[in-house]
Chains A and B, each alone.
Chain A
Amino acid sequence: MRASAGNVNCPPSRYEAEISIFGPGIGECIVIHLGKNAWMVVDSCLDRNTRIPIALQYLQALGVNAATDVKLFVITHWHDDHIEGASAILASCHNAKFVCSDALRCGEFVQFVSLYSQRGFIENSGVDEFNRIFEVLKSRRGYIRPELLEPGWAIADRRLLYYTKNDRPLNVEVYSLSPSDAAITLALREIGQLLIPKVKTPKRRAIAQRPNHVSVALWVIVGDLHVLLGSDLENHPDNRLGWQAVVLSRNRPRERALIIKVPHHGSSNAYCKEMWQEMVATNPIALLTPFASGVKPLPTETDIARISTHTPQIYCTGSPSGWRSPRRDSAVDKTIKEVVRTRRLVYGPMGHIRVRIPIKKGLDEPNIELFNGAQSL
């Protein structure tokens, strides 16, 4: 199967599933066509030129009415790179159920957001965005259907969306695979201990801690197509947490995913051999976003080699090694070179991988398109 680049603004047909993944270096967003012009969005990042959430920008370019046609909007966790622009998506998608991790359903998390966004004196993009999400949720009363007013909560083995063949020509189901009960218990404890600051400590930017116990991994079914979206879920020595908990669950979908959004940018911390062996088809289409920050940007060469033992079809929205810094005034560049030891740009072009599969009568051959710097690894 070869990847190509067609017309990015051409919408999918009614019986064509689409998985589009966007990633500019830090951040990711997934837009999925569930058939018959029903859409879902997972996470959010901004087009750095227009400052518009890439999901809204893309849907508009396709001629999709986000207000009516987006049925589900999932935030997999609160970290900056998955949430920028989420409030604008929520405000625009009047017909969408908003879902986030059940591990965030606690007063301490709301207090954390309130503290850092309103009393912190420092801009915190993730926390400020969540504060705006709260504002939108508050203001939606009056124009949103009652069943959509309250957030939905993602927890292991919960079905978030379900259309039967009677509702539409294809069955559509979306499940959350995580967080597990044990992960929620751990996260609730950590939110109180790690996120709420202590009195008489300095105000700083809220930096997300790893590993990530609250992240929502998803399983999407459209007709015969199964898709595993791994979010940033990582492994844990305790098999009641992380990927082991997902694999060991007796209630998870038993089919195998043809398409996998590789968890946590392909990192070794999120690699679970059992997940690949038991939940993913042979030679699946593996999609990744890079993470251009950190001592070692992800995916590393080793990560790519590891994934390639499972499939030769690996696509990434951008260059894993980041991009070269822009040129500035010569005196500035000279000074920067004298001061810094290492330097790289962490945001590049908004790479876009699009997979479309006709699904009316079973599964047809997928068509993979790469836009704006997305590449086959």
Chain B
Amino acid sequence: MMRDLATRFVAEQSKEVSEYFVDKDVKPIKEENVGQVSGNVLAISTEAPASLGLTAPPVVILPGPFKPRHRFKVLQQFEGTVLEISGDECRAHIRDLTRPGFVEEITFSIEEISESDRELAVLGAVFYWDIGYQDRIDGQRLRVSAIRFRRIPMWKEKDLVSSRREAESLSESLGWKR
């Protein structure tokens, strides 16, 4: 049976996953179990879910909603580009994402970068810099500055091959060749 899956995640998540795994006799997922953000899901129908004839193990108890331990209230966002790493200092351009139009040049200590991100900090690397308040699960509020480098996969042979092919065709059509 083909099901028309939607690309919206929120409300239908529980219903469809429950159809996969929940045995007929198992109660449907309750409303409050659906994602914190999406906690607006109406109570799942109490109709028994259709059997899909899967031979998977009978029951998987689905986890509760996505509840990060801490909530982050964003005050300011930048996108940065590394221009130079010199000793313990990083020079970068930062583009204001909260009030677009401002670009600043800054220098800062590489100590501000998470250790596991430091190897990513090279010429041309791009990072997010978010400033805001973190409300921890224990109720403590902290003012936070978080730099996170963008993790984008490496160049592949097929990127070079396909771009070379495209370049040949484009050069020909534009007269962009010697």
Contact = CB atoms under 8 A, between A and B. Distances in A.
Interface string A186-213: 0000000000111111111111000000
**Chain A at the B interface: SS class:** loop
B40 interface: no
A340 B110 CA distance: 10
18 contacts: A49-B101, A107-B164, A114-B163, A114-B167, A115-B160, A134-B170, A198-B155, A203-B153, A204-B126, A205-B126, A295-B84, A329-B75, A329-B76, A335-B76, A335-B131, A343-B105, A345-B103, A347-B103
Interface string B39-65: 000000000000000000000000000
Contact of A331 (B143, B156, B171): B143
A293 B105 contact: yes
Contact of A204 (B93, B96, B124, B174): B124
B16 interface: no
B115 interface: no
A1 interface: no
Contacts of A345: 102-104
Interface in A250-282: none
A119 B82 CA distance: 20
A355 interface: no
Contacts of A202: 120, 122, 125, 152-155
How many of chain B's residues touch chain A, expressed as a range? 35 or more
Contacts of A137: 174
B80 to A, nearest CB: 10
List of 9 A-B pairs having minimum Cβ-Cβ separation, nearest first = A204-B124, A111-B167, A150-B175, A110-B167, A114-B163, A205-B124, A332-B76, A340-B106, A115-B163
B109 interface: yes
* Interface range, A side: 35 or more
Given A106-B177, A107-B177, A331-B75, 13 more contacts: A26-B103, A108-B167, A114-B163, A118-B163, A134-B174, A138-B173, A150-B174, A199-B156, A202-B120, A295-B91, A331-B143, A332-B131, A345-B102
Nearest to A328: B76
Given A121-B152, A151-B175, A339-B145, A207 B157 contact: no
B145 A205 contact: no
